[in-house]
Each structure stands twice: as structure tokens, then as C-alpha cells.
Amino acid sequence: MSTASVSSSWITAHTRPAASRRRRWEISGSSGTRASSHDQGRVSCAEPVMTVETEIGTVRVRVRRVLPGAACQGGAMWSGIERDALVRALLATDPQTPTLCEGWQARHLAAHLYLRRHRPWAMGQLSSLAERAADPAAYLDVVAGFAAPVPARSPLALLDRSDAANLAEYVIHHEDLRRGEAAGAESAAREFPAEMTAAVLAQLRVFSMRMLRGCPVGVALATPEGISRVVRTGPAPVTIRGTAADLALALAGRLRAAHVRWVGPPRAIEALRHQLH
């Protein structure tokens, strides 16, 4: 086990002969096979959500594996589904892999996500935690820490269960990881169920209040599925067209990696791009 200074109560040590251990960063489900590109590129959910154990080196992490084809029902949260997909992506990634966050590698992103979910008052420790996570075993500990559930009695529990607080954040950071320098900005777009797309756009409307504060033009978002949202009223409106993930990246300022189309008066488009840059 690593010596990373994060809580290890959520980690189950799994001792195996060194010769029998899988390569680090390989993911397997209950069948023992590597996660397919289809699994990594499509997000959907069903009831009940299947749970699998992923073994990476000496760390065992329990995450939900989403099943294809059905919409979330019974109050399931899309932020939880996306968080689990993000955990699997982190486990499949070398800690030194660059991300879209300037100056950040996967280890920095993992440290940020762990602290944000479990110890937001300790964000000042991000650099030191990310430095320790350069060691692969410590990196896996940090990812496992992010995956661990927030205790029901924690003051953070209510926030942790909120799509409004987490969905856009997880979608953006998942794409930061997928479309980093090593993966290439040309990474295939993920397919979301229509219900999740609508949920993401609803949260982007809230997210955009901060990103578009003072923007001189109106802004609308539109997806290939025909879902649209006006996120800011104003003159010379501009419509940004793209998948939910690409729209999230655009509003977060990752313009070079966002595969979107800008529709509207040229000067208004220029003003909006300048606002988001």
C-alpha cells in the first residue's frame, strides 16, 4: 500500500503474488475482462445499477458499472453515474497523463476531486497531495478516496447527493481527462441518454451564471438531440451547438477541445468567445 496521507478506511488491502498482479491502470469487471471502449464511451443507467470490483495493483475499489439502454428511474442521480464513470477513467489513466486543465496531470485532477468531495476545507493541500500521487500506488489511493462514499451523517452528505452541485463539475473533469494532450482533443464524443443530456443542460444554465456574468450578448445551448436551453438573455443572441459534454467544455473555457458550432452575428460570437476564453 502507498503512504499517501489520505484516509485509507475505504481501501481494502488485497495481497496477491507480484507475478499475478495486473498491469497498473488496467480495469476489469466481474468477468475479469478489460473495460471496452464502448463501456468507456457510453453513459447510461438502469435499475438496479450493477456493482463490480476493480482491482488495480493492491487496491480494490467498488464502483457502479452502468448498464446500457435504460433511463434513470426512482430518483437515481446522474451526478453519481457520471462520478462512477470518472472513477473508472481515472483508474485507467497513468497519473502523469496531461489533462485539459493547464498545468495539471491526472494526479492533480484526482487530488482535486478527492479534496473537493471529502475535505473541501483542505484544498491548500492539493499540490502536496498531487506530488505524492506521482507514485502510482499513492495515485490509486487518492482515486479510491474520491470513489469512497461520503458518510451519511457528514455535513457534506447533502451536497454530495446534489446534481446541481456536481453534475457539470464531473462531466467537465471527465472530459478534461479524456481529451488531455495524451488522448488528443479528437477523442470521440460520449453518448448520453436524452434524460442525462437534459439534466446536464439544466445544470449548465446554473453554471453559466458565473461564466457569463457581464456577457454583452444572449446565449442559448442546443444539442443534436434537439434539446435546447436559453442560458442568458440579451441582444444579438448566439446559439452554441454541440453534445452536452462539448457544451460543458465550451462554457468552462476549454474552447480548443470543445467540438461546437457557433451560430449568430459574427461580432456577437467574437464577444462570447472572448468572454469564455
Q: Are 63 and 84 in contact (CB under 8 A)?
A: yes
Q: How far is CA 236 from the centre of its chain?
A: 32
Q: How far apart are CA 59 and CA 145, in angstroms?
A: 11
Q: What is the DSSP letter of 262?
A: E
Q: How far apart are CA 231 and CA 276, in angstroms?
A: 14
- Residue 169 predicted with pLDDT over 80: yes
Bridge pairing between strands 12-13 and 50-56? unpaired
- Residues listed for the chain: 277
Query: What domains lie within the chain, and their CATH numbers?
Result: 12-178 (no CATH), 194-276 (3.30.1050)
Q: How far apart are CA 122 and CA 261, in angstroms?
A: 39
Neighbours of 36 (CB within 10 A): 10
Regarding predicted confidence, which is higher, 155 or 22? 155
Angle of helix 78-91 versus helix 194-211 axis, rounded to 10: 90
pLDDT for position 218: 96
> What is the C-alpha end-to-end distance of the chain, expressed in Å?
41
Q: How far apart are CA 193 and CA 175, in angstroms?
A: 17
Rounded to 10 degrees, the C-alpha dihedral 39/67/163/150 comes to -90
Bridge pairing between strands 219-222 and 228-232? antiparallel
- Residue 46 predicted with pLDDT over 50: no
Neighbours of 239 (CB within 10 A): 17
Average pLDDT over residues 261-277: 96
Predicted structure pTM score: 0.76
Q: How far apart are CA 135 and CA 95, in angstroms?
A: 8
Please report which confidence band the pLDDT of residue 62 belongs to, taking 50, 70 and 90 as the band edges: low
Please report which confidence band the pLDDT of residue 73 belongs to, taking 50, 70 and 90 as the band edges: very low
Whose cell is 490509486? That residue is 140
